[in-house]
Structure 1
Amino acid sequence: MKPGRTVVAPRTDGRAPSPAGTPAPPPEADEAPLNPRRWQALAVLAVGPFLSLFDQFCVNLAAPSINRSFALSPFEFQAVVGGYGLVYGLGLITGGRLGDLFGRRRVYRLGLVLFTVTSLACALAWSPAVLIVARLVQGASAAVLQPQVLALIRVQFPPAERAKALSWYGVSMSLGMVSGQILGGAIPSWDLLGLGWRPVFLVAVPLCAFAHIAIGRTVPADGAPRTGRGIDGIGIALSATGFALLLLPLAALQEWDFLPTGPVLLFAAALLLTFFVGHQTRRAGKNRPVLLPVRFFHSRTFSLGVLLNFLLYMSSVPFAVMLGLYLQDESHLSPAAAGLVFTPAAVAIAVGSRVSPALQKRYGIRVLVVAAALTAAGLAAALATVGLGTPEAAILPLMAGFAVYGLGNGMIVPLLTGIVLAQVPSQDAGAGSGVLSTAQQLGAAAGIAVVGAFLYPATGTTLRYADAMWAGTVLAVL
């Protein structure tokens, strides 16, 4: 064996293999008894990731209809489209920790109630200001809701079943993104009862009501092992402010000049987040409650898994956003027809998510490499097709490339999630899932900023799709 070479030891318990020298996943002998209705519960839990991404992406294709309704200013348009994702990304670590402190089932149900109320507020909004506030609070509701799902999967399913459970999580999450694009374009075109874009936000209401009732019957109340230990308020303030300063220059890149404000805000973000890490380390050393256990990152597997999540979302999310604009602007498709272009990806994502556990069991960690290669190849092929061809001729090749991307994405999301969460103790599952989801949101924001810098011209109004597509191809290679 050559010095310095990483060796992956096979496992026989269904868990992801760990590189030699990586801290072993924590023991699970002290975890709660298995929930006999855990598979029924999984269907209820899948509502969370589906809605979190559905409501983030449905606005991409519904935005032109919303703009016609309210005649939004450029800042208001950006706030409606991007405000949800900004607040969502800021709140994920805190939302995950709330589940660890007060019980994940209880916090999941609270998130469902908040998401229902804010979705109704979006649908009933009578002014741009009301819609923007509702979208911001809806993002906070999603941040409360989403981390509980991964945490509950982590503690309710044994290692031998977790890959299969996470495959369904991957299906719900990826289909939420793709379905948001499809229905976000179709529903305004249908103009149900003359309501235009408003029913887009009503999709969440019956789903939340179903999940709120069913979760109480399928998931036992968890013991909330950290109840009574308090909340790290300073940690919440430091992390939220630090991530806000990190995301704002990326989210508002097209609203104001990046220089000199952008570097100043990014430096302030780095400073605050450094203080946050030091604060968490000191509190952990004194055995006081922390928002983020820094020891997670002592595991090389956890750290690299979070990084790969960041890169995956940095390449895939901007493509979905840009494609929605391209299909309507350049290919002159209706919103409904543009949404249907995403259908092959939706089918491929479902297939990839379902076959990935069996492939991992047979071929081990190498499946991750294949899945990443398929994801990159599909994105690069689709982007290059659009960049080289005419808008009309590019549709079918684009759909084929998008299907390859969907297959790889469907495979990699559940596998990668399982490998990362296996490094997290069950009592900190909420915080671990919050870190993972935050990395995804940061990656999405960074990717949109990079692609947007090439897409939006410095002067004029014609969007530069070819330049943006090639920038997206470079991100896909990462």
Structure 2
Amino acid sequence: MDFVPTLEQTPDPRRWIALAILLTGAFLPPLDFFIVNVALPSIREDFHASASTMQLIISGYATTYAVMLITGGRLGDLYGRRNVFLAGMMGFAAASALCGFAWSPLVLVVGRVLQGLAAAIMAPQALASINAIFPDGEKSKALSFYALTFGVASMAGLFLGGALIALNVLGLGWRAIFLINLPVIAVAAPFAMVILRETRSDHPSRLDLGGAALIAVALFALIAPLIEGREQGWPIWSLLMLAASLPLLLLFWKHEQKLEAAGRDPILAPRLLRAPGLKRGLLAALFFYAFAAFWLTFSVFQQAGLGRTPFEAGLAVLPAAVGFVLGPFASGHIFRVFGRYSTAAGMSLEAAGLFGTAALISLEASTLLPIALFFVGAGQGIALPNLVRTVVQRVDPTQSGLASGLVNSMLQIGGALATALIAGLFFSILGASTDATSIGHAYSISAIAIAICLLVAAWLSVIHPMNDDARRPSDTRLAGKTS
């Protein structure tokens, strides 16, 4: 999402209608992350798929989205945000159709990877276009709607996924969660062609296709064997891929340094990481999104452990989604109370909620589970905007778009790694057991692991150096925008 806002003397008279269209493009990627979690047990039963396939359905999407996010933003700078937005939307529709009509687990995984690619092309154009078409006096309000979209997408995904499967629309079962994207895009795309005004950067960055390819291969070499290796008894190919991942990451870094030295535009500018505290902030983002593994493990516990339907499982997790929606509204107040510790406060609340779910499930005291889940969601809703703000403020304002894209990429990579490692831990503990007690025990251990990652993220978000006096006015203003 590296962009330079385009300032217009006369605001676009159709900008609020355009906002609704742009928010559709911002809504679909997180929706398809959350909606699939409720459907995973049904997909597994239909295809007789392995646990590793379930992990790949999530991590394939998240990894591709993470790797291509910054490149997607630069495509809009170069070729026009409306054009690229429409291309990403059409690609997302095609990939959703492939997922919906998938005839094998492999085809579904491929469809999810293509969905992640299309989402990375589509989503950055929404934020960049909002910055380009809204005057400064209205930008804060428009961005508030943009931020709210992610909370609404989480809630809609969890509820809609279960509802569509329960309704079994046209006998489609879980396939409806992907095919529902098609009528949405069929309505949104024509409006986008007519309503959206074309914008692009005055000084667009060049594409670093070599860097994008290298980081994609390196992450694939790291994540794929972590998922497939465990289930297949760690064959030699999995160990070789793991061993190759570090040299590939080093090769990527050398490539980025070489591009920067040549005065070109690397996908990850090494000079950006020299900003005080930025590396710690990005590490915090990496650990923070270990929470992505929660949706998979909790859904399996609800459906396979408690025997609930997908719709009932979606309803069970709604307290967390409600907390996620409401959390950002409290972000400004939290910042005024906790200051630089606001991010850590949100993460700690989230971790406490996860510890609570683990204890309640172990004690079979599920009556209080909705309260613990609400704390989980509220903590995430508080921590996420504060974390992004903290990281972005550490760079020069001219680099804020790149920093924003970078922190979002780290969040997605963290989610993919967590799905590989923590969900892998869940299935390892579970083994061949299918009883509710064993599944509940496996969930509790995985929830504790996620909570520990969140506490590490909270620690990282606090200890990195920070000039409070220099940052305070800007922080307070941004906190108000978030709330």
Fold match by TM threshold 0.5:
yes
- Partner AA of 1:451 in structure 2: I
Contact 1:164–1:357 (8 Å) recurs in 2: no
**How far off its partner does 1:310 sit?**
1.6
Secondary structure (helix, strand or coil) at the match of 1:198 reads: helix
User: Are 1:385 and 2:356 an aligned pair?
Assistant: no
1:349 aligned residue = 324
- 1:246 and 1:412 map into 2 onto residues whose CA distance is 28
User: Are 1:407 and 2:378 an aligned pair?
Assistant: yes
1:309-348 correspondence runs (5 A): 309-314=285-290, 316-348=291-323
**How far off its partner does 1:159 sit?**
7.8
Q: 1:131 aligns with which of 102, 108, 111?
A: 108
1:19 aligned residue = none
User: Are 1:398 and 2:369 an aligned pair?
Assistant: yes
Contact 1:42–1:165 (8 Å) recurs in 2: yes
- Partner AA of 1:288 in structure 2: R
**How far off its partner does 1:301 sit?**
4.8
Secondary structure (helix, strand or coil) at the match of 2:349 reads: helix
- 1:293 and 1:322 map into 2 onto residues whose CA distance is 36
1:443 aligned residue = 414
1:190 aligned residue = 167
1:258-337 correspondence runs (5 A): 258=234, 264-314=240-290, 316-337=291-312
- 2:409 and 2:202 map into 1 onto residues whose CA distance is 24
- 1:46 and 1:86 map into 2 onto residues whose CA distance is 22
- 2:278 and 2:132 map into 1 onto residues whose CA distance is 17
- Partner AA of 1:472 in structure 2: I
User: Are 1:66 and 2:37 an aligned pair?
Assistant: no
The structure-2 alpha-carbon separation of the partners of 1:146 and 1:475, relative to structure 1 and needing over 3 Å to count, comes to same
1:1-400 correspondence runs (5 A): 32-33=7-8, 35=11, 40-72=17-49, 76-153=53-130, 165-215=142-192, 219-226=196-203, 230-258=206-234, 264-314=240-290, 316-357=291-332, 360=335, 364-386=339-361, 388-390=362-364, 393-394=365-366, 396-400=367-371
**How far off its partner does 1:320 sit?**
1.7
Mark the runs of 5 or more structure 1 residues left unpaired by the alignment: 1-25
- 1:219 and 1:359 map into 2 onto residues whose CA distance is 36
1:91-147 Cα shifts (integer Å, max 9, x gaps)? 223323323332333322211111112212322334445433322212211121233
Q: What is the percentage of aligned positions where both structures have the same residue? A: 32
Runs of 4+ in 1 over 6 A off after TM superposition: 157-163
Contact 1:99–1:107 (8 Å) recurs in 2: yes
1:3 aligned residue = none
- 2:331 and 2:15 map into 1 onto residues whose CA distance is 20
Contact 1:46–1:169 (8 Å) recurs in 2: yes
- Partner AA of 2:408 in structure 1: S
**How far off its partner does 1:157 sit?**
6.3
Contact 1:167–1:415 (8 Å) recurs in 2: no
**How far off its partner does 1:327 sit?**
0.9
- Partner AA of 1:414 in structure 2: P
Contact 2:64–2:113 (8 Å) recurs in 1: yes
1:345-375 Cα shifts (integer Å, max 9, x gaps)? 2222222223424654787544334323322
**How far off its partner does 1:165 sit?**
4.8
User: Are 1:460 and 2:427 an aligned pair?
Assistant: no
Contact 1:112–1:208 (8 Å) recurs in 2: yes
Moved more, 139-148 or 159-168: 159-168
- 1:162 and 1:408 map into 2 onto residues whose CA distance is 26
- 1:220 and 1:425 map into 2 onto residues whose CA distance is 28
Contact 1:50–1:177 (8 Å) recurs in 2: no
2:391 aligned residue = 420
- 1:330 and 1:240 map into 2 onto residues whose CA distance is 36
- 2:141 and 2:344 map into 1 onto residues whose CA distance is 19
How many residues align? The count is 445
- 2:25 and 2:18 map into 1 onto residues whose CA distance is 12
- Partner AA of 2:265 in structure 1: P
**How far off its partner does 1:326 sit?**
0.6
Contact 1:184–1:339 (8 Å) recurs in 2: yes
The structure-2 alpha-carbon separation of the partners of 1:160 and 1:103, relative to structure 1 and needing over 3 Å to count, comes to same
- 1:419 and 1:219 map into 2 onto residues whose CA distance is 31
- 1:178 and 1:253 map into 2 onto residues whose CA distance is 33
Contact 1:353–1:410 (8 Å) recurs in 2: yes
- 1:109 and 1:193 map into 2 onto residues whose CA distance is 29
1:194-243 Cα shifts (integer Å, max 9, x gaps)? 2222221122223334443444566532233355x753332222222122
Contact 1:242–1:269 (8 Å) recurs in 2: yes
Secondary structure (helix, strand or coil) at the match of 2:199 reads: coil
- Partner AA of 1:204 in structure 2: N
RMSD over aligned CA atoms reads: 3.3
**How far off its partner does 1:344 sit?**
1.6
User: Are 1:434 and 2:405 an aligned pair?
Assistant: yes
Secondary structure (helix, strand or coil) at the match of 1:221 reads: coil
- 1:404 and 1:358 map into 2 onto residues whose CA distance is 17
- 1:159 and 1:446 map into 2 onto residues whose CA distance is 38
**How far off its partner does 1:75 sit?**
5.7
**How far off its partner does 1:338 sit?**
0.9
2:454 aligned residue = 476
The structure-2 alpha-carbon separation of the partners of 1:118 and 1:63, relative to structure 1 and needing over 3 Å to count, comes to same
Contact 1:421–1:429 (8 Å) recurs in 2: yes
Secondary structure (helix, strand or coil) at the match of 1:239 reads: helix
- 1:197 and 1:170 map into 2 onto residues whose CA distance is 28
Contact 2:7–2:135 (8 Å) recurs in 1: no
